[in-house]
Structures are given as C-alpha cells and as structure tokens.
Amino acid sequence: MKITFYGHASLGIEVGGKNIIVDPYISANPNAAHIDIDSLKADYILLTHAHGDHILDVEAIAKRTNAVIVSNAEIAGYYGAKGFQSHPMNHGGSWNFDFGKLKYVNAIHSSSFPDGSYGGNPGGFVIEGEHKNIYIAGDTALTMDMKLIPMRTKLDLAILPIGDNFTMDVEDAIIASDFLDCDKILGYHYDTFGYIEIDHKESIRKFFNKGKDLMLLEIGSSIDL
C-alpha cells in the first residue's frame, strides 16, 4: 500500500492495484500549488464528510476519471443526483471493494455542503488491504469509539488530524493512537489555515516521548507500507 499526502486532508492511496483519492482539497491550497489535479489517477474517491475543505476537487476529478464516489448515504446521493457514480455507506457498515474491505466508522464533527445541502453525519474509514490495514480518521474529536476499531482490525497506520481548533490536537491524537492500538501515525489537517498551524518538531517530539512515530509528509511525497 502506498499513501501520498496531497496537503490538508487530501490523500492518494494505491492498494490492490487501484487508485483512491481521499477528501480532495488541492486546487485552492496554496501549499499544494505544485500538485496538478488533472494528473491524479482515481478509481475511487472516498469522502469523510461534506465540508468544502474536503470536497473542493471531487467533481473535477470524478468527471475526468469516472471514479466511484464512496461516502455516507447523503453525500453519495448528492453526487449520484448530479450523475456521478457513487456508493452509499453508513456508520458501522463494510463493503468488499476490488481494492480491499472498506468500513465507514464514526467521527465527531459536522458535515454540511458549502451550498447548505445536508451532508449526513461525518465519518472515517478503515481500509483492510491485501497486506496492510489503515484508519483514516477524517475530521474528528477524540472519541471513545476509536477503541472499537482494534477489536476488529489490527492497524498498521492511523491517519489522524492534529491541527486543533476544528479537530483533535496533538495531545488528543496521542491518546487516540492508544485507543487505536497503533503507534505509527500520519498527521494531517494542519497548517492549511491560520487556525490549524502547528509546530512540526514539537509535535513529532511529543509523540516520540510516548514511544510513537508521528510522520509529517511533504505535500506530494509518499510512504510505502
């Protein structure tokens, strides 16, 4: 499994021979100006919730690639009504896709579209790939529900928001990694706006002091699991 950071909460995932884009917010992010959304491959687009900083580039990417948009029922329905391919899910449900098993799990946040449409309830995803399993938290507070995830899935990586203000901060993300029984963390949802700027070295040190590994990727760079 290969995971590429496209800035903010945007990810590319190569798994099972398929390309997945998660929460694309790239074209308006000045830190990601070197990423061309027209070069991104996508068989699927996973959306954690409907906020503008997670869906900005969905339609441009889906129109070009014909990717299947996977999200909660309301978000999938919103794009389905616009003629895009979609797959509706809801909390606690899993589906065996051709790239692996995907579960939609709880997040504590909100989820309205920028145009005011109802975006259902926000979530995160657990992906069980051929050899590795990951959790993408989406925008969320620390929640006890995270303890449920390792009861079903042994995680190799947890992708957690760490920017504070709208989501968990670093300290809560450290507790989350305990709940998730996963000491390998990819941080996201930081630095994009003034509200969520973080001190990188300090954040990495805080995780290190608890025996955990926080990775902060340059935008456009990848990790192989």
Q: How far is the CB of 121 from Ni ion (least distance, A)?
A: 12
CB 118 within 8 A of CB 110: no
Restricted to residues 45-104, the positions that interact with Ni ion (CB under 5 A) are: 51
What does the alpha-carbon distance between residue 49 and residue 112 come to, in Å, rounded to a whole number?
A: 8
Q: How many CA atoms lie within 13 A of 30 on its CB side?
A: 4
Whole-angstrom distance, CA of residue 71 vs CA of residue 5: 20
1 vs 21, beta carbon nearer Ni ion:
21
Instruction: Kindly tell me which of 58 and 204 has the beta carbon lying closer to Ni ion.
Output: 58
Given Ni ion, Mn ion, none, residue 206, with its beta carbon under 5 to 8 Å by kind, binds none
| Site for Mn ion, residues 34 to 53, rule: CB under 5 A | 53
Shortest distance in whole angstroms from residue 119 CB to Ni ion:
10
The footprint of Mn ion on residues 50-69 (CB under 5 A) is 53
Q: What is the dihedral of CA 17, 66, 80, 167, to 10 degrees?
A: 60
DSSP alpha helix (H) spans, the chain = 52-55, 58-65, 73-81, 149-152, 170-180, 200-209
> Quick one: 57 or 139, whose CB is closer to Ni ion?
139
Out of 139, 164, 169, 172, which residue is the one contacting Mn ion (CB under 5 A)? 139
Segments of the chain assigned E as strands: 2-5, 11-15, 18-22, 44-46, 68-72, 86-89, 94-97, 100-106, 123-128, 133-136, 157-161, 184-188, 213-215, 222-224
Closer to Mn ion at the Cβ: 43 or 53?
53
Taking CB within 5 to 8 Å according to partner kind, which of Mn ion, Ni ion, none is near residue 57? none
Residue 191 contact partner, candidates Ni ion, Mn ion, none, CB within 5 to 8 A by sort of partner: none
**Using CB under 5 A, which of 74, 139, 164, 172 touches Ni ion?**
139
Shortest gap between Cβ of 18 and Ni ion (angstroms)?
A: 26
Q: What residues make contact with Ni ion under the rule CB under 5 A?
A: 51, 139
Q: What residues make contact with Mn ion under the rule CB under 5 A?
A: 53, 139
